[in-house]
Amino acid sequence: MARRPTPPGTPERTGVGHFADLIRHAIPPLHPAGLPFVAAPAAVAVLGGRRRWVRRTGFLVAAACAAFFRHPHRVPPHRPGVVVAPADGEIALVDTATPPAELGLGEQPLPRVSIFLSVLDVHVQRTPVSGTVRTVSHQPGRFRSADLPEASSVNERTSMVLETPEGRQVVVVQIAGLLARRIVCDAQAGDVLTLGDTYGLIRFGSRVDTYFPLGTELLVRPGQRTVGGETVLAAFGSIADA
């Protein structure tokens, strides 16, 4: 059988190169915050010498950390006026609630969706809308189980206010959980972020709350699974009414 010609301008791929491409697509890259957690146990395994249990334990811990800090590629929806999930996980709450007091947004309850992240979920956070970061605020607190309703108000958290080009404000809150001891937020006031951009990470079990403007139509229910940067949580009023 004649070999199918390679299209002009397409680099020739060898069997090894094709296999490498398959691996890159199948295995998500590592978030930079996870490098120390993977490198340390891997180094212990390499230096373990003839102690087989040390090598095995080191490599197992390194593999577990690599899985936790995985940073898969995501493709946001090409739909105007929608809000996507800022995190992978299970939707724990769909309700109305007052946004964090430290943001100074008033006491008017707003539509809210809470996503609970287990230790098995991807733990990077992604921008739910395109817009300008107006506020980033960190609030110390407790480390209660993130699936409890009161975790939104009593646990340690980092809140970010995003303003869309149309002037709508969306609040996304990273909340520490029972095992979480570190919230990473790389966004700063004045940054312009695009829908689906990775902006932060929470280590080891957590929760992410999203608050929407009044009139937003929420499109999810408790118990649903979300894919960060892809699952549509809500649509703004003008889109929902169309």
59-82 pLDDT, tens digit each: 776 666 666 667 788 889 988 899
What is the pTM for the complete model shown? 0.77
Compare 176 and 232 and report the one with higher pLDDT. Answer: 232
Tokens of 92: 């724990």
**What pLDDT score was predicted for residue 166?**
94
| CA-wise closest residue to 151 among 127, 124, 180, 125 | 180
Q: Is the pLDDT of residue 12 over 90?
A: no
The arithmetic mean of pLDDT across residues 177-182, rounded, is 68
Q: Which of these is catalytic: 114, 159, 206, 238?
A: 206
**What pLDDT score was predicted for residue 160?**
97
**What pLDDT score was predicted for residue 48?**
73
**What pLDDT score was predicted for residue 1?**
44
Q: How far apart are CA 227 and CA 230, in angstroms?
A: 6
Q: How far apart are CA 130 and CA 162, in angstroms?
A: 8
**What pLDDT score was predicted for residue 61?**
66
Read off the pLDDT of residues 29-60 as tens digits, 9 standing for 90 and up.
766 766 666 677 677 777 776 777 777 777 77
CATH topology of domain 82-240: Glucose Permease (Domain IIA) (2.70.70)
Compare 83 and 155 and report the one with higher pLDDT. Answer: 83
Q: Is the pLDDT of residue 5 over 70?
A: no
3-state helix, strand, coil in the chain (%, to 5): 25, 30, 45
Tokens of 56: 């095995």
Read off the pLDDT of residues 221-242 as tens digits, 9 standing for 90 and up.
999 999 999 999 999 975 444 4
Read off the pLDDT of residues 187-203 as tens digits, 9 standing for 90 and up.
999 999 999 999 998 87
Read off the pLDDT of residues 96-123 as tens digits, 9 standing for 90 and up.
999 999 999 999 999 999 999 887 888 8
Q: Is 206 a catalytic residue?
A: yes
Q: Is the pLDDT of residue 172 over 70?
A: yes
**DSSP H helical ranges for the chain:** 15-26, 35-46, 52-68, 151-154, 237-240
Torsions phi, psi of 59, nearest 5? -70, -35
Read off the pLDDT of residues 133-169 as tens digits, 9 standing for 90 and up.
999 999 988 777 666 777 777 888 999 999 999 999 9
